[in-house]
Amino acid sequence: MNKRIELTEAVIDNNQLVLKPVSLPTGLENLVAKGQMLVDSDQLAFIYILETADEFVYAGLPHTIWTNLKEAKDKQLDVIAKINEQEIRLVDFFDELEYLLENIKGNANYGEDMEKKVVELFSLK
């Protein structure tokens, strides 16, 4: 089964957005950014996919940090996940996010709450 971590802390530091989890499952060494994102509409979250040598790790980006994501997107900042003192640059983050935002806007398949929250927090029209 794939592991999931929640990146619930978001801080802009040195012209980059640094994301950190509050707690971690064990065995998350040598994480690599996959460059792909998913949507978890039940949890009102985006998911960035990380991987180790033998499994995927889902990094949840809850709606509580979306204003930070929007600010970083507007400023074109790099996005870094800091996990177990390892800093991982989340490659293709905003390309993937932009694709998801465009698909969610006006799309009932993601659920009314998800669509409403995305439009509101990312100022979509």
CB 49 within 8 A of CB 56: yes
> 8 pairs with which residues across the strands?
none
- Total domains in the fold of the chain: 1
pLDDT given for residue 112 in this prediction: 93
Which residues have a Cβ under 8 Å from the Cβ of 36 and sit 6 or more positions away? 48, 49, 92, 96
Give one DSSP letter per residue of 42-92, joined into a string.
Answer: TTTEEEEEEE-SS-EEEEEEEGGGHHHHHHHHHHT-EEEEEETTEEEE-TT
Residue 112 sits in which domain range?
A: 3-121
pLDDT given for residue 27 in this prediction: 72
For each successive 10 residues of the chain (125 residues), what is the average pLDDT? 90 96 80 97 97 93 97 96 93 97 93 94 84
Residue given tokens 């509101």 in the structure block: 120
Which residues have a Cβ under 8 Å from the Cβ of 112 and sit 6 or more positions away? none
pLDDT given for residue 85 in this prediction: 82
Q: What is the reported pTM? A: 0.94
pLDDT given for residue 1 in this prediction: 65
pLDDT given for residue 43 in this prediction: 96
pLDDT given for residue 125 in this prediction: 73
CA distance 101 to 122: 8
pLDDT given for residue 36 in this prediction: 98
